[in-house]
């Protein structure tokens, strides 16, 4: 999950940003974008319907800022509440906790 968070340029490389081949749009012609290097990362509002290479680069920069903001919050001392969508099993929960503790061993779950 976050084991290689220092390798963000590989995770958010333009070759990893694609339109969902199964469901290419969401709602009214809004592209459904996948980040292939992440198993469950979908964007349904960050790119316009007819996007180009520059739009993808801007998308990547936006996601880098978001990611770094999350990492900085995890490294901090303020209380964080993680919200999940759907069910997860114990293995997934423990993997998440382990990943967070790699960033900040002081996190208390």
Mean pLDDT by 10 residues, the chain (109 residues): 67 91 85 87 88 94 93 92 88 91 89
pLDDT at residue number 7: 81
pLDDT at residue number 56: 95
pLDDT at residue number 6: 63
- The model carries a pTM of 0.76
- The length of the chain, given as a count of residues: 109
The dihedral sign for the CA sequence 90, 96, 102, 106: negative
pLDDT at residue number 104: 93
Residue 25: partners with Cβ closer than 8 Å, 6 or more residues away = 31, 32, 49
pLDDT at residue number 5: 56
Q: Is 31 exposed, middle or buried (0-12, 13-18, 19+ CB in 10 A)?
A: buried
pLDDT at residue number 83: 87
The distance of Cα 75 from the centroid of its chain, to the nearest Å, equals: 17
């Amino acid at each position: 999950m976050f084991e290689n968070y220092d390798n963000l340029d590989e995770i958010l490389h333009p070759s990893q940003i694609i339109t969902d081949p199964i469901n290419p749009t969401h709602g009214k012609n809004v592209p459904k974008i996948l980040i292939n290097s992440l198993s469950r990362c979908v964007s349904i509002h960050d790119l316009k319907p007819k996007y180009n290479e520059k739009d993808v680069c801007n998308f990547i920069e936006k996601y880098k800022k978001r990611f770094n903001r999350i990492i900085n919050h995890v490294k901090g001392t303020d209380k964080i509440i993680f919200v999940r969508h759907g069910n997860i099993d114990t293995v997934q929960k423990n993997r998440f906790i382990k990943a967070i503790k790699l960033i900040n061993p002081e996190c208390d779950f």
